[in-house]
Amino acid sequence: MTDTATNTRQIPDRLTSRTTRVFRSWEALLLAVAIAIFIVNSFASPYFLNAWNLSDATFNFTEKAMIAFAMALLIIAGEIDLSVASIIALASTAMGLAVQYGAGTPELVIIGLTVGLLCGAFNAVFVTILGLPSIVVTIGTMSLFRGISYIILGDGAFRGYPSSFSWFGQGYVYWVITVEMVLFAIIAVIYGVLLHKTNFGRSVYAIGNNPTGAVFSGIRVQRVKFILFLLTGFMSGVAAICLTSRLGSTRPSIAQGMELEVVTMVVLGGVNILGGSGTIPGVVIAAFVIGLVTFGLGLLNVPGIVMSIFIGLLLIGVIALPRLWKMAAEKRRRA
Partner 1 sequence: MMRMIPVRETILSAAILLLLALIATRFSGFVAPSNLANVFNDTAPLIILALGQMVVILTRCIDLSVAANLALTGMAVAMLNVAVPGLPIPIIIAIAITLGAIMGAINGILVWKLEIPPIVVTLGTMTIFRGIIFLISDGKWVNAHEMSEAFTGFPRAAVLGLPVLSWVAVLCVIVFGIMMARTPLGRSIFAVGGNPHAAVYTGINVGKTQFLAFVISGALAGLTGYLWVARYAVAYVDIAGGFELEVVAACVIGGISIAGGIGTVGGAVLGALFLGVVKNALPVVNISPFWQLAITGSAILIAVAFNARSGNAKGRIILKSAQSSS
Q: Is 267 in the site for partner 1 (CB under 8 A)?
A: yes
67 vs 103 by CB, closer to partner 1: 67
Q: Is 131 in the site for partner 1 (CB under 8 A)?
A: yes
Q: Is 71 in the site for partner 1 (CB under 8 A)?
A: no
> Which of 283, 296, 306 lies closest to 73 in space, CA to CA?
283
Using CB under 8 A, which of the segments 39-47, 150-158, 220-228, 241-249 binds partner 1?
150-158
104 vs 312 by CB, closer to partner 1: 312
Q: Long-range contacts for 249-253 (Cβ within 8 Å, ≥24 apart)?
A: 249/96, 249/157, 249/158, 249/159, 249/161, 250/92, 250/93, 250/95, 250/96, 250/153, 250/157, 250/158, 250/159, 251/153, 251/157, 252/89, 252/93, 252/146, 252/149, 252/150, 252/152, 252/153, 252/154, 253/89
Q: Is 130 in the site for partner 1 (CB under 8 A)?
A: yes
Contact map string, positions 280 to 319, toward partner 1, x by CB under 8 A: -----------------------x-xx-xx-xxx-xx--x
Residues that contact partner 1, how many (by CB under 8 A): 48
Q: Is 26 in the site for partner 1 (CB under 8 A)?
A: no
Q: Is 150 in the site for partner 1 (CB under 8 A)?
A: yes
Q: What is the rounded distance in angstroms from the CA atom of residue 67 to the CA atom of residue 283?
A: 11
Q: Is 133 in the site for partner 1 (CB under 8 A)?
A: yes
DSSP 60: G
Using CB under 8 A, which of the segments 131-139, 186-194, 221-229, 283-291 binds partner 1?
131-139
Q: Which helix (H) or strand (E) holds 111?
A: helix 105-124
Q: Is 42 in the site for partner 1 (CB under 8 A)?
A: no
238 vs 315 by CB, closer to partner 1: 315
Q: Say if residues 148 and 90 touch (Cβ distance below 8 Å).
A: yes
Q: Say if residues 217 and 209 touch (Cβ distance below 8 Å).
A: no
- Which residues sit opposite 158 in a β-bridge? 250
Contact residues: partner 1, CB under 8 A: 1-2, 4, 80, 126, 130-133, 135-137, 139-148, 150-151, 153-155, 252, 257, 260, 263, 267, 273-274, 303, 305-306, 308-309, 311-313, 315-316, 319-320, 323-324
